[in-house]
């Protein structure tokens, strides 16, 4: 079974990485899909976001063999269909995430008959997000607990 984990990953955090690790144990193949849509502005370019994820995964041979990283634009269901993925994976931190995720999951089911499976975020990452991490880094704070090492280098350019 193959799953797609779509997201902005602006940048990838340890919370995302935890979802990738856990999902890769459930599915035979996991495709991390980085959104490259012109109407969603990101701080990091799609090339940088892909590189941050790839260099993080390269450090783990097991993950490297099971996880592929791609970029996509357009509808996530079109990507899922084109690579014959069975479902989407998304992490859920709290009830605040639920509204968006519920709507997106129903939309994706209706649009392309692709189901979404949710993994509850590990509580140690429940209060972090890419935007918080960027804010802390920009203000000179220590983000080493929240992002992989390869991401720290990119974040240090923000301040």
Residue ranges that bind ligand PNS, judged by CB under 6 A: 6-8, 35, 75-76, 104, 107-108
Tokens of 75: 């509808």
Per-residue exposure over 25-50, b if at least 16 CB sit within 10 Å of its own CB, e if not: eebebbbbbbbbeeeeebbbebebbb
CB of 140 to ligand PNS, least distance (A): 25
Nearest to 151 by CA among 7, 22, 16, 39: 16
CB of 35 to ligand PNS, least distance (A): 4
Please pick, among 8, 130, 134, 150, the residue that the annotation labels catalytic. Answer: 130
Compare residues 27 and 72 and give the one whose CB is closer to ligand PNS: 72
Q: Is 130 a catalytic residue?
A: yes
Q: Does residue 144 have a cis bond before it (omega within 30 degrees)?
A: no
CB of 23 to ligand PNS, least distance (A): 14
- What positions carry a catalytic annotation? 16, 40, 93, 130
């Amino acid at each position: 079974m193959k799953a797609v984990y779509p997201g902005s990953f602006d940048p990838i955090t340890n919370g995302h990485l935890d979802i990738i690790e856990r999902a890769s144990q459930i599915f035979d193949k996991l495709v991390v899909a980085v959104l490259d849509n012109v109407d969603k502005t990101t701080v990091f370019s799609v090339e940088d976001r892909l590189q941050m994820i790839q260099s993080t995964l390269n450090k783990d041979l097991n993950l490297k063999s099971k996880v592929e990283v791609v970029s996509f634009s357009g509808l996530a269901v079109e990507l899922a269909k084109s690579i014959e993925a069975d479902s989407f994976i998304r992490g859920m931190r709290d009830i605040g995430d639920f509204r968006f995720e519920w709507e997106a999951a129903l939309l994706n089911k209706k649009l392309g008959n692709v189901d979404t499976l949710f993994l509850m975020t590990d509580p140690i990452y429940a209060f972090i997000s890419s935007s918080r991490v960027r804010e802390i880094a920009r203000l000179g704070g220590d983000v080493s607990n929240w992002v992989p090492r390869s991401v720290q280098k990119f974040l240090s350019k923000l301040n």
